[in-house]
Structure 1
Amino acid sequence: MKKLIPGNWRRKTWDIILAMLPPLNFLTLHYFYFIATCLITSVIFYLTSTPWRSVSYVNSIFMCVSAMTGAGLNTVDLSTLNSFQQAVLFLLLILGHAILISLTVLLVRKRAFEAKFKGVSDARERERSSRSSAVDLHVGVSTQRSTGTDNEARGESDDKRWIDDDQVTVGGTPRLHHHRVFPMAGIGARPDLNNHPRDAVPVPLSKEDSVSGFKGIIRGTQKYMASKGLVSRNSQFHDLTAAEREELGGVEYKAVSFLSVIVFLYLVLFILFGVIGVGCWLEINDPDVTRSNGLSPFWTGSFFAVSAFVNSGMSLLDANMTALQLRAYPLLTMGLLILAGNTLFPCFLRFIIWTMRKMLPNRPAWQSWRITLDFILEHPRRVYTNLFPARHTWYLLGTIIILNGIDWAAFELLSIGNKDIESLPTEFRILDGLFQALAVRAGGFYVVTIADLHQGLLVLYVLMMYVSAYPVTLTMRNTNVYEERSLGIYAHDETPDSPANTSRSNLAMNLIRRHLNRPGFPETSRGYFVHQQLRSQLSHDLWWIALAVFFIAIAEADHYSAQPVAFSTFNIIFEVVSAYGCVGVSLGFPGKNYSFCGAWRGVSKLILAAVALRGRHRGLPVAIDKAIMLPSESLAWAEEEDAALRRDRSMVFQERGPVGSV
């Protein structure tokens, strides 16, 4: 019988513990930030209720989670809360907003670039000092030996960096790779950078050789720096020396620094625009609407504006937006805020940067600014999560217009015969339909009573709430610089005729593949990526929603027996999908102003809070995303290796021809 070597059992125990713990990366920190903040504020929210314990702790934690995730559902009437509790919800709306979190990522990456540059500068200074000392002491032989030792040490470094530096994301620390129970890598992604074959060693190529492998998609890097490097598809820079990599890092640093200012101004100015505009409008034009609920008009308008911008749908008014269904200014302003704060944020941001680039004077003094703005516009996903290339931005805009147009048309057509809606003036009926179309996919407000709408329209709303995050999420992942590496395509999909690439079972998916494929690059890789993302996203969503509906239906069985219409299964599905999509539209409960979930049992509310928390994290970038990763040597190596693998794959594709070709 073999004896266990001392220390081995400790190592195995530690490996088991690490396998059970999620890695420290962007997604893990995101979950921790939301859970910790909600737990802390829920205690404060509960302890400050007036009268004492008028709001239960279950309702307190649900309200805090709903506000921070943007779910927007409320289990108590917000008008009955005291001013401090309303202020807590107001703060949570902002703290949980995606733009604020993305701004934090920019600031952290900016700081990481600065620390890296300082480290490089200090290393060079030490190297110069050591060389100077060596010359003064006339120890040339020792210097040569030392240099040889240093070079040898660096060559150990190249091997080690793949082991210790495989997942350095925002706030993360290098750690060994383990097969984890909870990889926390994002939907459809591999957990680390180190998922390619080790024998694929990148070799610097001449431009002629590279172009032969990347016809029509290769470009030089001379526009941004003095270099003979190349830029291939999906903004991947390769064939760069170490010095050129450092210079590229300087260009990226300027881009990140510029974006941190622009995104901050975007966030602050839009919030101020909404707070001042809607708050002052209510104060001047319609103060009685808010004072009937015992609220300040300006405070109510400010809450409206922020709730619209963060796409929450929470309202201090018991009647939500139905009290303002005949007011054009707040409807139009809040509709703009809904779009600017979420679905069209990438489009608005790119338009702002594009406009600034066009307005720059063509003078040598502005050359640095032109390079920075050109780099952001041409390689947006290297520097920011929610900024996309021009083609993908147009696709996103078109998708949003089509989906909102469907909602708008369905509202107008399926409301024929609805006396409450037909009694509205024609212009406001059209405007209310537009606002409801904008709000049902993300905003969460309702300008008419949702439960009174046509049954078919409610089914459409369920579908739209379910896919609310898809346009931005799929665009974000489709433009990931490390899309192949994140899925391990090269490691598991080596040839164009592999089974994963030759499937012809889905005609719609084949059309998507052909549509998204770029000229000169094998269709199969990008088609596989889009197919994998759609499949992973659907499987990620459906089982969670199904389990939530199942357990809530069990918990609310006695309520269903007493009130089968109010507690119907469809109403539960509607509420769960609304929470998972972080929308906030609810069918309500008869005789009450709060959401339908307000009539549920405590355990059902906690399940729904978990659903909202899970849904808030479905649209995040994967762990291997350049826009959230800290600068490191392994990222540069991964980029060079991807270029080598893609070149080899492309050459094989050219030799064999497209799949199915004669």
Structure 2
Amino acid sequence: MKFFATLIRKYTETRDEFLTNPDTARQWQQRMGRSVLAMLPPCNFLTLHYAYFIVTGLVASIIFYLTSTPWRSVAYIDSLFMCVSAMTGAGLNTVDLSTLNNFQQAILFMMLIMGHAVLISLTVLLVRKQAFEAKFKGVSDERKQAASRGQSVIELQGDRDAVPGSTGIDLELEQGCKPRSKAAVVVQEASGSSTPREDRWVDDDQITVGDATRHHHHRVFPMAGIGARPDLNNHPRDAVPNVLLEDKDSVSGFKGILRGTQKFTKGLVSRNSQFHDLTPAERDELGGVEYKAISFLSVVVFLYWALFLLCGIVGMGGFLEANHPDVTRSNGLSPFWTGAFFAVSAFVNSGMSLLDANMTALQLNAYPLLTMGLLILAGNTLYPCFLRFIIWIMRVMLPDRPRWQSWRVTLDFILEHPRRVYTNLFPARHTWYLLGTIIILNGIDWAGFELLSIGNKDIESLPTEYRVLDGLFQALAVRAGGFYVVTIANLRQGLLVLYVLMMYVSAYPVTLTMRNTNVYEERSLGIYAHDESSDSPANTSRSNVLMDLIRHHLGRPGPHETSRGYFVHQQLRSQLSHDLWWIALAVLFIAIRESDHYENQPVAFSTFNIIFEVVSAYGCVGVSLGFPGKNYSFCGAWHLISKLILVAVTLRGRHRGLPVAIDKAVMLPSESLAWAEEEDAALRRDRSRAWAQERGPVGCV
């Protein structure tokens, strides 16, 4: 009783204080507001991506549910599942698509398109393009205002090369002048650096929702990216040191910023196209080249997306209309509409089909198998390879004349520094690695289908040429496409296990390539890899590598821990552990809820079948073992809570391969990005000198 009496007294005193002193109430509200905001996720690309998928899925599911005929023939949980499954590309369905009305099918058609990774990446390009234009306009306006008022230029202090590797910077402003964030701004290394100030850019594009507090690692959803250490200031915004401002009016106006006619080779370029040691004018020129590259890519990506989609719709729709109209009309569907849905579903790698038999109805037709196989590759797995090949062809075909010089500069910049401008465009070497990895993985699937189907009567009954072609198509579809050309449940157990593994690693080739080529990913791991060279740590003896491992366990990281191999290893290990937790927990909860079904039908509701369905959903593949006597996926026979868990799994799986908030290709242009590049270069130099001093003469350990 004494406790409650004290609690009531405290409440009464606080209430009276609020009523008599408005400032106290305001301060309390501000503290509470900051505490709440500190727990919210930061407002970055990944957060907005989640919000887009969740909000759009909820709105579409309500419309889907309200337009069902007859009324309430489709439960709301099924409406939600179908919309989210279509938008995420998971492709699983809890109801027969052929029983839906035309409007509901059209909703799924639009959700397939709205969730496509290529379309979303195009949106990012357009947003960044507008941000560059706004930045250039701000620079131009400030220069004009400074010229009209006759303001004096703030002179640079110190010599850049006086203290190599130093990150100390002095900010000297004229009296009465406020720091400006939209000037020509670069990191300069100055001697006699003082204690860093706490100034921050007031209009930094990357400021997060909860930036009022500095304890970002206390957020419930930090959105720092897989493998990122929560104890680091991962974001380049958090690395804003003191600044030196220089306002040279060498070229004024928006056109002047873009007036670069020769190849950009200024400054120094480190790993993953990190430009550093640039002057303010060179930073402006670099921004202009990046802007032109983004503008050009926005057109190329749109044409790529639209033409592949249009050609696929016309090709598949026309084929079914002309050759197999009876196949679709048996399900009460229009042949052209069915073919168009096939094409879109293949291009976005969903696997949804209006036909109850999926692609098994077309397993003896070469044209749809080859066409949809190409769409599957072009829309996801080989999209970076196709896009880089197209840009390379454009560069080769450009005539060597002065009037085309600007285009050559733009294309050269895209090919040499692709990850500064686009998420799914990689350097030549990494593109070849990606192509080789995908060929190997698909080859394993193809060989597994052919070898592990020996003795399977359903497969051996096919003509030899179509058995080979069906095996190739199934290999392409099982890693991302989601279609099935043979009944999956009738395949051998070993082949099904192989499919589980391939669905699990489906996003890894592109994801690891994306992170290995990210300009700022090293910052998120707290490591700063050396550029590869003949005498780099990656090429030293095994004994040195062993010593580095010993140093690692003793808390003294060696130079090999900052090599590219170590970086990829860290990313792969973090991705594997992160994915396993999600899949393991989802399988556990679903298995618990489906215990009653397992008791009645132990074969249909086996644990392996649940694992297969969860991995397919997490990998956003869409291949399912199905349910006996039904045309929908296995999850269609689950309880409500199990379907909700799988919805969460598909959402998380759709976002596992995305660039995180610290990816240059999804960040808006701001001065803090330049600071991050310069700081990383300085840290890399400092660590290189420290390691060299620690290791002593060459050959010593």
TM bin, normalised by shorter chain, reads 0.7 to 0.9
**Structure 2 CA distance, aligned partners of 1:645 and 1:427?**
59
User: Offset at 1:503?
Assistant: 2.5
User: Structure 1 stretches of 5 or more lacking a match?
Assistant: 135-145, 203-220, 507-513, 515-520
**Residue type at the aligned position of 1:193:** H
Distance 1:92 1:153, change over 3 A: closer
Which residue of 1 is the match for residue 330 of structure 2?
Answer: 292
1:39-78 matches, cutoff 5 A:
39-78=58-97
User: Offset at 1:648?
Assistant: 1.7
Which residue of 1 is the match for residue 590 of structure 2?
Answer: 552
**Residue type at the aligned position of 2:57:** C
**Residue type at the aligned position of 1:113:** F
Q: Deviations over 1:150-177 (max 9, x none)?
A: 66745999955647577718x9897664
1:119-138 matches, cutoff 5 A:
119-131=138-150
The worse-fitting range, judged by mean Cα deviation, of 4-13 and 309-318 is: 4-13
**Residue type at the aligned position of 1:29:** L
Give the counterpart of 2:99 among 46, 55, 80.
Answer: 80
User: Offset at 1:10?
Assistant: 4.2
SS of aligned partner of 2:269:
strand
Q: Deviations over 1:296-320 (max 9, x none)?
A: 1100000000000000000000000
User: Offset at 1:488?
Assistant: 2.4
**Structure 2 CA distance, aligned partners of 1:526 and 1:284?**
53
**Residue type at the aligned position of 1:18:** L
**Residue type at the aligned position of 1:245:** R
**Structure 2 CA distance, aligned partners of 1:374 and 1:610?**
42
User: Offset at 1:654?
Assistant: 3.7
Contact 1:412-1:430 at 8 Å conserved across structures: yes
Contact 2:42-2:210 at 8 Å conserved across structures: no
Contact 2:129-2:294 at 8 Å conserved across structures: yes
User: Offset at 1:623?
Assistant: 1.0
Which residue of 2 is the match for residue 148 of structure 1?
Answer: 174
**Structure 1 CA distance, aligned partners of 2:199 and 2:283?**
16
Which residue of 2 is the match for residue 502 of structure 1?
Answer: 548
Distance 1:163 1:532, change over 3 A: farther
Which residue of 1 is the match for residue 627 of structure 2?
Answer: 589
User: Offset at 1:11?
Assistant: 4.6
Quick check: 1:193 aligned with 2:207? no
SS of aligned partner of 1:237:
strand
SS of aligned partner of 1:269:
helix
User: Offset at 1:404?
Assistant: 0.2
Which residue of 2 is the match for residue 327 of structure 1?
Answer: 365
**Structure 2 CA distance, aligned partners of 1:248 and 1:478?**
23
Which residue of 1 is the match for residue 253 of structure 2?
Answer: none
**Structure 1 CA distance, aligned partners of 2:316 and 2:483?**
15
Contact 1:165-1:634 at 8 Å conserved across structures: no
Which residue of 2 is the match for residue 178 of structure 1?
Answer: 215
Task: State the percentage of identical aligned residues.
Answer: 76
Q: Deviations over 1:361-406 (max 9, x none)?
A: 1111111000000000000000000000001000000000000000
Distance 1:661 1:343, change over 3 A: farther
Q: Deviations over 1:86-143 (max 9, x none)?
A: 0000000000000000000000000000000011111011111101999xxxxxxxxx
Quick check: 1:313 aligned with 2:359? no
Give the counterpart of 1:524 among 552, 562, 583.
Answer: 562
**Structure 2 CA distance, aligned partners of 1:372 and 1:345?**
21
Q: Deviations over 1:180-231 (max 9, x none)?
A: 22111221235642598899999xxxxxxxxxxxxxxxxxx99634x75221
Q: Aligned-pair RMSD on alpha carbons?
A: 3.3
User: Offset at 1:532?
Assistant: 2.1
Give the counterpart of 1:255 among 293, 306, 313.
Answer: 293
**Residue type at the aligned position of 2:228:** A
**Structure 2 CA distance, aligned partners of 1:200 and 1:641?**
12
1:104-503 matches, cutoff 5 A:
104-131=123-150, 148-149=174-175, 153=179, 159=197, 162=200, 168=206, 177-179=214-216, 180-189=219-228, 192-193=234-235, 224-225=263-264, 228-489=266-527, 502-503=548-549
User: Offset at 1:484?
Assistant: 1.8
**Residue type at the aligned position of 1:39:** L
How high is the TM-score relative to the length of structure 1?
A: 0.87
Contact 1:581-1:615 at 8 Å conserved across structures: yes
The worse-fitting range, judged by mean Cα deviation, of 311-320 and 642-651 is: 642-651
User: Structure 2 stretches of 5 or more lacking a match?
Assistant: 1-13, 18-22, 154-171, 186-196, 245-259, 530-536, 538-542, 553-557
Distance 1:440 1:501, change over 3 A: farther
SS of aligned partner of 2:275:
strand
Q: Deviations over 1:252-298 (max 9, x none)?
A: 00000000000000000000111001110110011111111111110
Distance 1:129 1:160, change over 3 A: farther
Contact 1:469-1:619 at 8 Å conserved across structures: yes
The worse-fitting range, judged by mean Cα deviation, of 528-537 and 302-311 is: 528-537
**Residue type at the aligned position of 2:263:** Y
